[in-house]
Structure 1
Amino acid sequence: MKNKTAIITGASTGIGKETAKYFLERGYNVVMNSSSEANLKKAFEDLGAPSNAAYVPGDISERKTAQQLVNLALERFGSIDVLINNAGVFSPKPFLEVTKEDLERFWKINLLGTYITSQEVIPQMVKQQAGAIINIGTVLVDHAIGGFPATAPLTSKGAVHAFTRQLAAEFGKDNIKVNTIAPGIIRSPLQGKMGIENADSLSGLHLLNRIGEAEEVAEAAYYLATADFVTGETINIAGGHTVGHSI
């Protein structure tokens, strides 16, 4: 039986890179994307430059990047079975200090990139009458934190959550499953980019009193990629973050 193919955006570091590794180890063909060609090439080489992987550098908010991903996946591997819209940016900023440029940056990468890439992939999934799309959101959409002002990125991520549900409704008849993974605090380079030097200091936000690992998000993505009766859902991978807190 032909191996299935997954496209993973934002795959050069953190959750995206670990998810690419997880799928490759389970026999998937993987087409990786990142806006940084140098980081993407390094990630590809770190994974052993496997024959069942390929990569396309480029800005995911530009349609030509999504088209290149689709074309490469079909030329090299013959199908597109899974799309993981992982590429995104996130950083806190007080509401009254947010600029138009801040908003445009988050909406462009987090929402527009997810929307356009899905638009380019779905025609092939309709043709196949099968497919899975997994969008990466955040638990903060449903569980805000007063001391972590993030209205700008959260409006874009909230839109991704809504996009998931409507897309699931529109393409359920074509056997295309669309779901969201909403991570809590996950050990990745993202914390450093936000100025958080010790990510483990945030463990108390989760009932399990630890932060998550990128592989745990990859496990959830693999489950959703293979689940045949799950669509329109948001799966929290957050150690109980949305349920309550320890004191």
Structure 2
Amino acid sequence: MSLQDKVILITGGGQGIGRATAELAVARGARAVIADIRPDVEAVAAEIGAAGYLMDVTDQRSADAAVAAIMTRFGRIDALVNNAGTALAAPALELTAEQFGRVLQIDLVAVLRVSQLVARSMIETGGGAIVNVSSVAALIATFPEPTTGYAAAKAGVVQLARNLAAEWAQYGIRVNAISPGRVATQLLFDNTDEQQRELMVSQAPIRRFIAPGEVAESILFLASDAASAVTGHNLVADGGLSIV
């Protein structure tokens, strides 16, 4: 699975799955580009040998400026990983329209926004690959976790990948999604207690959390030429959670 010299843009690449993906991409010879809302994105990217650009995926001008700067510097974007997102735990009866709207803006609308920008550049340079990071919550009700808003947005991410794959195949652009299970990120640990984590581990057949690097392997497979015939697919990397 060669990624040598491929320009791979990863939104939300400053931490968690995004950072693991950037690190692995660099290790495999790619020119990784991290786009993140965090102000220290350039310093974070430099730590792993990547380039860093400030991008607020919910702001059209910010996204426009970042993608334009990346194209000016590198001349092309071979793969886009739509990883930027937010989590929201709120019971359905208490979920406000404002909260739901914000989750949709970050986790779904922004995926379309950045995909459109990058796809236009890919059309000019001969194609590419897009990978949308969804969640197992798009496939199953992760009760007792109150993830209604998040789950709805992530389900939309999967269907968006299918539709974009159908429309953009003519341009040589492949679009896929990946649905990870419970991944051992700081976000998960910050939002759960020990009892909740024990329950989560017990629910998946593999009886452990998934490492960010394991998800990164699957993401970069979909982004690579090894997946040249794969498009419109949702790769489930959940340790078997969705099958039990």
User: What corresponds to 1:135 in structure 2?
Assistant: 132
Deviation sequence 1:148-174 (CA, Å, 0-9, x none): 121111111111111010000001111
Question: Identity over the aligned pairs, expressed in percent?
Answer: 31
Residue aligned with 1:118, SS: helix
172-181 or 195-204, which moves further after superposition? 195-204
Superposed displacement of residue 17, structure 1 = 0.6
Residue identity in the other structure for 1:16: G
Among 110, 113, 123, the alignment partner of 1:113 is: 110
User: What corresponds to 1:186 in structure 2?
Assistant: 183
65-74 or 231-240, which moves further after superposition? 65-74
Task: Confirm whether residue 195 of structure 1 aligns to residue 192 of structure 2.
Answer: yes
Contact 1:181–1:237 (CA<8 Å) still a contact in 2? yes
Deviation sequence 1:51-88 (CA, Å, 0-9, x none): xx321123111112222232222222111100000000
Superposed displacement of residue 100, structure 1 = 1.6
Task: Confirm whether residue 233 of structure 1 aligns to residue 233 of structure 2.
Answer: yes
User: What corresponds to 1:74 in structure 2?
Assistant: 71
Superposed displacement of residue 221, structure 1 = 0.9
RMSD: 1.8
The separation in 2 between residues aligned to 1:182 and 1:89, in whole angstroms, is: 15
User: What corresponds to 1:217 in structure 2?
Assistant: 215
Contact 2:108–2:154 (CA<8 Å) still a contact in 1? yes
User: What corresponds to 1:33 in structure 2?
Assistant: 35
The separation in 1 between residues aligned to 2:88 and 2:101, in whole angstroms, is: 14
Using structure 2 for the length normalisation, give the TM-score: 0.92
Deviation sequence 1:109-137 (CA, Å, 0-9, x none): 10111110001000111122320000011
The separation in 2 between residues aligned to 1:198 and 1:26, in whole angstroms, is: 38
Please, which runs of 5 or more residues in structure 2 have no aligned partner?
A: none
The separation in 2 between residues aligned to 1:2 and 1:21, in whole angstroms, is: 14
User: What corresponds to 1:46 in structure 2?
Assistant: 47
Structure 1 residues 7 and 198: alpha-carbon distance in aligned structure 2, compared to 1, 3 A threshold: farther
Residue aligned with 1:97, SS: coil
Using structure 1 for the length normalisation, give the TM-score: 0.91
The separation in 2 between residues aligned to 1:233 and 1:42, in whole angstroms, is: 34
Aligned length, in residue pairs:
239
User: What corresponds to 1:14 in structure 2?
Assistant: 16
Structure 1 residues 231 and 28: alpha-carbon distance in aligned structure 2, compared to 1, 3 A threshold: same
Residue aligned with 1:60, SS: coil
Residue aligned with 1:207, SS: coil
Among 81, 85, 98, the alignment partner of 1:101 is: 98
Contact 2:42–2:53 (CA<8 Å) still a contact in 1? no
Superposed displacement of residue 197, structure 1 = 4.9
The separation in 2 between residues aligned to 1:9 and 1:23, in whole angstroms, is: 14
Runs of 4+ in 1 over 4 A off after TM superposition: 197-200
